[in-house]
Amino acid sequence: MCGIVGFIGNEQAAPILLEGLSRLEYRGYDSAGVAVFDGETGTLAVHKAKGRLQVLSDQLHGGADLNSTVGVGHTRWATHGAPSDVNSHPQVSRSGRIAVVHNGIIENYAELKAFLVAQGVPFTSETDTEVVAQLIEYFYEGDLLAAVSRVLHRIEGAYALGILCADCPEQIIAVRKDGPLILGYSQEGSFIASDVTAILRHTRQVSYMEDGEVAVLTRDGIRCYNRLMQPVEKEIVTVDWEINDAEKGGYEHFMFKEIMEQPDAIRRCISPRIREGEVVFEDFSLSENFIKAMRRIYIVACGSSYHVGMVGKYHLERLTRIPVEVALGSEFRYMDPIVDENTLVIVISQSGETLDTMAALREARRLGGHILSIVNVVGSSIARESDQVLYTWAGPEIAVATTKAYSTQLALLSLLSLWLARQLNTVPEKDYRAMLSAFQELPGKMEEVLSHRDSIQYFAAQYFNHNSIFFIGRNLDYALGLEGSLKLKEISYIHSEAYASGELKHGTISLIEDGTLVVALGTYGTLFAKAMSNVVEVKARGADVLALTTANHREEMSHTADAVMVIPDIHDLLLPSLGVVPLQLFAYYVALMRGCDIDKPRNLAKSVTVE
Ligand code: F6R
């Protein structure tokens, strides 16, 4: 979704803004813009362009044209008003002296706009953001902070704002409510950014703005205020991500790089948490009393993170015998969930900023649940609002389609299931040991799957022309199919559905005809015979079957399926962790052959910060 960068300091601002925005491109956007203070004319120079950031950057010769050391920049993902130059940010007030960049939605913008129009204020865009710029000017009487504060009492919704005023060019004002915004500190000056990747080249010293906080950035530092405009001391933390982690490093696509990084990401996530034959969570614990009293577990997430939850449900219920419900972040609030103080609510999110997941978290907290989140981005909103956090340590994930974050979330949730079972005494010692050693084997076995990627590429070449694909499987394989199907459709634009195999006969099988491609998942040994029956069933209706199974079952599957992708045998607990890799590769190669924009699929954003 929208990306914000702001800088005030001792360097030329525009190149820093454009470079920072290029680091935020992965979030998804449709237009871009910058505003800088032009010291010669005493005005704001605002430049905006629909389309790729490169268009804007070319127009400004990489920022060299704009001689200024203070400015704000933005990549816009359209909500109010179509993507266009005029609707791009920065949005300016009627005099052009106040410029605003915004991520989020101002929910009461129509009402505020009507008020301003009645006062004779002319509007030029269809955006909700213009209301903020116009309203600040309406209240401005020489004190920008006071005007911003009055506006904040009137606007409703979710927002991160960067505000520049030609009358006070020695400052940028930043505001955050339910939208990510971080502050960066360096010798060069002060920064704001939607996420840390935008400013990593300049600083690793950051602080995270809290909801309702206002920051005033100057060349010498940053002052912060709470909702009541009382000064607050911000903790400055050092980010341990490397700039190289957020670069392609010779790979054609971030997605492919991130697929290939998975074994290392799993090592980073899991190895420190298995010590001397035990699962050890240094960063987290649940009291014995809570664990004993725990009656129910909810897993709440969106998209691929939700699919992790679908696998997690099977693991948790099997291992702990505690009932688990998996809920979509966007549905949770509206389903009157049964949560009390004996409920563990596991919130899963790569970005830690997904608004629907965040809203679900808040609802679960209101109802008294204990919130444990599994998050990748350190210091993100979800991490900060949870009772406890387990970080996945996957490093920055740039491709819109998640791969290494999914894998680390899944491995961590599997490890958590095992840990809980150990605390509850519901797992026999022998099984516990077998599962622990499977975790140690996982990265190596992932490497083995990745080393055979040519065979997946070959299958992709055979099937990339299909217009509709079904993923079928039972139990763990069904949950795995949900992710395989999403991965394929989001980046290749092929219509694809995931079905629990047993459901085929209840309707879907009518869609199977000569040449329909069915990806049949049969990795779960316990249900392999059933998986085979379903393959026979769809073959009999003319389907082409591309199967996925383990080395153990390869031969049997080859007799019936048209093509077989194989993963090494591993303990059931980690079958989905291994099985997802060929499905990610299949989706990647299919999208590549169809010429799709793999890292930035149409209409999608990396971090979904609107409802
Ligand atoms: C799909 C994908 C999305 C995210 C979803 C939740 O490849 O990446 O479905 O999983 O938007 O995002 P997070 O995990 O950041 O809350």
Q: Is 2 a catalytic residue?
A: yes
- Using the mean position of ligand 1's atoms as its centre, give its distance from the Cα of residue 303 in Å: 5
400 Cβ contact list (under 8 Å, min separation 6): 26, 28, 490, 491, 599, 600, 601, 604, 605, 606
Provide the residue type at 408 as one letter. Answer: T
Residue 611 pLDDT > 80: no
- Using the mean position of ligand 1's atoms as its centre, give its distance from the Cα of residue 337 in Å: 22
Please report the DSSP string for 393-440 in residue order. Answer: ------SSS-SHHHHHHHHHHHHHHHHHHHHHT-S-HHHHHHHHHHHH
For 450-505, where are the E strands, in sequence order?
A: 468-473, 495-500
pLDDT 10s digits, 392-428: 999 999 999 999 999 999 999 999 999 999 999 999 9
What pTM was computed for the model? 0.86
C-alpha to C-alpha distance for 329 and 350, rounded to whole angstroms: 13
Per-residue confidence band for 508, with pLDDT thresholds at 50, 70 and 90 = confident
Q: Which of 331, 347, 608, 610 to mutate to test the pocket of ligand 1 (most atoms within 8 A of CB)?
A: 608
The two structure tokens encoding residue 201: 């080249």
- Using the mean position of ligand 1's atoms as its centre, give its distance from the Cα of residue 587 in Å: 16
- DSSP state, residue 507: T
Hey, what domains does the chain have and what are their CATH numbers? 3-240 (3.60.20.10), 254-448 (3.40.50.10490), 453-593 (3.40.50.10490)
Annotated active-site residue in 2, 165, 168, 596:
2
Q: Please compute the mean of the pLDDT values over residues 242-255 and round it to a whole number.
A: 84
Q: Is the CB of 496 under 6 A from ligand 1?
A: no
Q: What angle do CA 80, 330, 176 make, to 5 degrees?
A: 55
Q: Is the CB of 303 under 6 A from ligand 1?
A: yes
Reduced to 3 DSSP states, what percent helix, strand and coil does the chain have, rounded to the nearest 5? 40, 25, 35
Per-residue confidence band for 80, with pLDDT thresholds at 50, 70 and 90 = confident
343 Cβ contact list (under 8 Å, min separation 6): 294, 295, 296, 297, 298, 364, 367, 368, 369, 370
Residue nearest (by alpha carbon) to ligand 1 atom 11: 303
Ligand 1 atom closest to Cα of residue 400? 8
Higher pLDDT, 27 or 495: 495
Q: Is 165 a catalytic residue?
A: no
As a whole-number percent, the residues of the chain with pLDDT over 90 amount to 88
Q: What is the CA radius of gyration of the chain?
A: 26
CB of 312 closer than 8 Å to CB of 417: yes
Q: Minimal CA–CA distance to 299: which of 412, 168, 430?
A: 412
C-alpha to C-alpha distance for 5 and 224, rounded to whole angstroms: 18
pLDDT 10s digits, 255-300: 999 999 999 999 999 999 999 999 999 878 899 999 999 999 999 9
Residue 610 pLDDT > 80: no
Q: Is the CB of 100 under 6 A from ligand 1?
A: no
Q: Minimal CA–CA distance to 32: which of 44, 45, 17?
A: 17
Annotated active-site residue in 113, 257, 404, 606:
606
360 SS3 class:
helix
Residue nearest (by alpha carbon) to ligand 1 atom 5: 303
pLDDT 10s digits, 318-344: 999 999 999 999 999 999 999 999 999
CB of 406 closer than 8 Å to CB of 414: no
Q: Please compute the mean of the pLDDT values over residues 549-572 and round it to a whole number.
A: 97
Q: Which of 195, 330, 354 to mutate to test the pocket of ligand 1 (most atoms within 8 A of CB)?
A: 354
- Using the mean position of ligand 1's atoms as its centre, give its distance from the Cα of residue 241 in Å: 20
Provide the residue type at 19 as one letter. Answer: E
Residue 282 is predicted with a pLDDT of 87
Q: Is the CB of 608 under 6 A from ligand 1?
A: yes
